[in-house]
Structure 1
Amino acid sequence: MAENLGYGHNEMIEAVCKVNDKFHQYPPTKNRTAWFRMVFEEKLKEARGDILAYKAKPRS
């Protein structure tokens, strides 16, 4: 699913970690598959932003 959306391997790993964190805070109550798909797509975008921000950060 992530490859179809154009995300890389590192972004997928970061997104899965973020989904796990959200799962523990707000677990799904009805349809886990739909919940995972929605949250995973949301977290892929966040993961890409986090990775780009980390790469752009100046090194000291």
Structure 2
Amino acid sequence: MKFGQKALAGARAGTRAEGVRVEISGCVGARPAVRAYIRVSMATAANDNTFTIYGSPHLL
């Protein structure tokens, strides 16, 4: 689920999501967990790069 997206206009940028609620109905396995992550994509004339940073999983 994407909560925010922002194009960088300079060396710094940010986006913030507060009060986000996710509900899961039905079976999701023996040990369901949620995990926050951020994905950053950069494109220049020479290179395209994408990297993802994952937070710790939280068991439900």
- Shorter-chain TM range is under 0.3
**Higher helix residue share:** 1
**Higher strand residue share:** 2
TM-score (norm 1): 0.19
Structure showing greater radius of gyration is: 2
Greater length-normalized contact order (CA 8 Å, ≥ 6 residues apart): 1
